[in-house]
Amino acid sequence: MLPNYYQFYCPVKILSGQLAVSNIPYEMTLLHAKKAFIITDKGVVKAGLIDIVKSAFEDSTCEMGCIFDDVPQDSGSSVVNKAAMLFEKEKCDCLIAVGGGSALDTAKGVNILVSENAKNLLKFQGVEKITKDLKPLIAVPTTAGTGSEVTKIAVIYNEDTKEKMAFVSDRLYPKIAVIDSRMTMTMPPKITAATGMDALTHAIEAYICLQNNPIDDIYAKTAIDLIRRYLIRSTENGKDEEARLGMANAALFAGIAFSNSMVGMVHALAHALGGVFHVPHGIANAILLPWCLEYNISKEPKKIAELAAILGGSLEYLEHTDLAHITVSLVRNLLQRLNRISNIPMRLRDAGVTRDKLSVAARLAINDGALIYNPAEVSYDDALTIYEKAF
Amino acid sequence: MEFNLENALTLLRKLPYYPVLQSKSKYALIDTTLSVIAAAFEEVSALAPELKEEIAHWNEGRRFAIGVLPRGPYITMEKKGDRIRFVGKGQKKPDVTFIFKNLDSALLVFTAQISAHQAAAECRVLIDGNNAYAMELNRALAMVETYLFPAFIFKIIFKRPPKLSSSQLIIKSKVYANLLPILIKHYSQVQIAKFKD
């Protein structure tokens, strides 16, 4: 059934598969770019992943202008400003972001500054505040979770106002997303599990939330299917190339899905936990996902029930509500298995959350814009109850 | 010949002045609805304890606006003391604005054909400004709608339709009774502001 109205947009060119990174210089020539500015973090450099990108430029007419590897775990405005100044000094004409969500968000922030010829990101925060076309950005993710390589959002921490700034614009989409299994091989099991559950949450929320549409549903379902096949495999054996590529694609499809369909209460509550307790985003999503799915059953039993078949259990004679509960059980089983393999926490108390500040997190969660798109109403009391259950 | 609405609309659309009339009518209807919402906001913030509690921690002087691109109408409201006050028509330096992309999108919500959250899900409305303020405004607006709109449309406009207690029903009747005087007061305020300009 079609929704009353929907919008879908994804202009990112996707290169996925064997030696995908080697195609970067060719794609740069198509974009009329000659000198790349690489934005990454020290972990990626240490893991030798930048060397893979360097080797792609060996026999190319394009060059790697500069490697900026100062990106912290959470992208901040001072890092963006520093990188932007260096970009201009080196006279580069395109950006390559190699890393996780933080590197990608930093690259998007730098792109805003250098393309708009500005010194301050503040005036561009919000929706569609960017007025000029941006420089080409090539995204090379090294985690399989955030999907930032195909989203139009960047979140950057403002050190002056101590707030997170969100930038949303169709212009922020990278030109190209490069999915190469070599770039995710070095992820340790716990991070593989956490980022994989992040991708699963993106896909499931995109599927069941209010802004879902038939195009995103296809991406979401494919992502969930890939996660079902490959998440356990890639967590158990990091060298499994097929599994790594499968998970990277799953994260990409989930990214396309949620970029258009948005997310819901899992993300609202997880963002609050990240803000108050610094729980890593993937872990918070993993713990909260089954509880929030259960909460939403009353509003979307049919959509949640449909996920049961994709996640691996289909009993067609059951009612929607019963099947929806099976979906929740399947997600819990997946989390239990990942916990046995990688020690990813299953309860909030094991993720560094303390009971005394749950009310603060709940107060923060109900002010998260993602709640608008959640099928069921979530009040302060509801958020607190979910936290208590997941504690 | 049987009356056919589609045919009638097709004929109407062919009239040379119809698009202008249609646009002006939509503008007028949305302008009136926004005026009513502004009046209701003032009155409900004066009477309803739950709205008072919701806005208690809002910073003094916080302004919000609701309107339609590209040329309005808009209303701006402000927190003063423990109440919400009408500032005026137009965007008067709001901290957060709910903007409908066009008159048709606004009309769908203001005639209760779709809910505000459905409008957001269909990308018919934008939020300009502080996101946290926007969510707080959303909750406050929901409370005002509870006291403004009749119960039979609650199912369309709310994810969880509220059930009003007897004391809330009394407040609702007071809101209805005071709407017209407040509308007249706001109208005078706007005319005086225009005269001063």
Q: Give tens-digit pLDDT for A333-342.
A: 999 999 999 9
- Domain boundary assignment for chain B: 22-196
The confidence band for B12, taking pLDDT boundaries of 50, 70 and 90, is: confident
Q: Which CATH architecture has domain B22-196?
A: 2-Layer Sandwich (3.30)
Kindly state whether residues A222 and A160 are assigned to the same domain. no
CA distance A210 to B117: 8
Query: Pick from B124, B135, B159: which is nearest to A367 by CB?
Result: B135
Question: Is residue A21, in this structure, part of any structural domain at all?
Answer: yes
A376 touches B at CB < 8 Å: yes
CATH of the domain at A191: 1.20.1090.10
Kindly state whether residues A121 and A207 are assigned to the same domain. no
The confidence band for B23, taking pLDDT boundaries of 50, 70 and 90, is: confident
The confidence band for B72, taking pLDDT boundaries of 50, 70 and 90, is: confident
B135 touches A at CB < 8 Å: yes
Question: Is residue A2, in this structure, part of any structural domain at all?
Answer: no
CA distance B58 to B75: 19
Range A83-105 average pLDDT: 95
Least confident of A178-192, A317-331, B163-177: A317-331
Kindly state whether residues A194 and A140 are assigned to the same domain. no
A168 touches B at CB < 8 Å: no
CA distance B18 to B23: 8
pLDDT of residue A266: 96
Query: For all residues of chain A together, what is the average pLDDT?
Result: 92
Instruction: Supply A267's token pair.
Output: 């993300």
Question: Is residue A8, in this structure, part of any structural domain at all?
Answer: no
Look up the pTM and report it.
0.87
Domain with A48, as residue range(s), is 13-183
Residue of A380, A157, A202, A390 whose CA lies nearest to B135: A380
Q: Give tens-digit pLDDT for A13-40.
A: 999 998 999 999 999 999 999 999 999 9
Which letter, b or e, does each residue of A335-353 get, where b requires 16 or more Cβ atoms within 10 Å of its Cβ? bebbbebbebbbebeebeb
A369 touches B at CB < 8 Å: yes
B62 touches A at CB < 8 Å: no
Kindly state whether residues A167 and A74 are assigned to the same domain. yes
CB contacts of B154 in chain A (<8 Å) are: none
Least confident of A156-170, A209-223, A321-335: A156-170
Kindly state whether residues A167 and A82 are assigned to the same domain. yes
Residue A74 has pLDDT above 80, yes or no: no
Kindly state whether residues A127 and A204 are assigned to the same domain. no
The confidence band for A385, taking pLDDT boundaries of 50, 70 and 90, is: very high
Residue B1 has pLDDT above 60, yes or no: no
The amino acid that residue A356 corresponds to is D
Query: Pick from A126, A210, A366: which is nearest to B118 by CB?
Result: A210
Pick among A367, A378, A382 to test the B interface (most B CBs inside 10 A): A367
Question: Is residue A319, in this structure, part of any structural domain at all?
Answer: yes
CA distance A341 to A189: 8
Domain end, chosen from A159, A183, A207, is at A183
Residue A174 has pLDDT above 60, yes or no: yes
Domain end, chosen from A141, A160, A183, is at A183
The better pLDDT of the pair B16, B59 is held by B59
CB contacts of B138 in chain A (<8 Å) are: 372
Range A255-282 average pLDDT: 92
Calculate how close chain A gets to B56, using CA atoms only, in Å. Answer: 14
Kindly state whether residues A123 and A40 are assigned to the same domain. yes
Domain end, chosen from A183, A204, A221, is at A183
Range B32-48 average pLDDT: 95
pLDDT of residue A49: 92
Least confident of A123-127, A233-237, A335-339, B45-49: A123-127
Contact A369 B135 (CB under 8 A): yes
Calculate how close chain A gets to B47, using CA atoms only, in Å. Answer: 22
pLDDT of residue B3: 63
CATH of the domain at A112: 3.40.50.1970
Contact B128 A210 (CB under 8 A): no
Q: How many CB pairs under 8 A join A and B?
A: 57
Kindly state whether residues A169 and A243 are assigned to the same domain. no
A319 touches B at CB < 8 Å: no
Would you give the DSSP letter of residue A70?
B
Pick among A162, A212, A262, A372 to test the B interface (most B CBs inside 10 A): A372
B163 touches A at CB < 8 Å: no
pLDDT of residue A190: 95
The confidence band for B139, taking pLDDT boundaries of 50, 70 and 90, is: very high
Kindly state whether residues A267 and A363 are assigned to the same domain. yes
pLDDT of residue B11: 78
The confidence band for A195, taking pLDDT boundaries of 50, 70 and 90, is: very high
The confidence band for A1, taking pLDDT boundaries of 50, 70 and 90, is: confident
Range A238-247 average pLDDT: 95
The confidence band for B19, taking pLDDT boundaries of 50, 70 and 90, is: confident
Structurally, how many domains does chain A consist of?
2
Pick among A2, A4, A5, A360 to test the B interface (most B CBs inside 10 A): A5
pLDDT of residue A86: 95
Output the CA torsion sign for B182, B187, B190, B196.
negative
Contact B136 A367 (CB under 8 A): yes
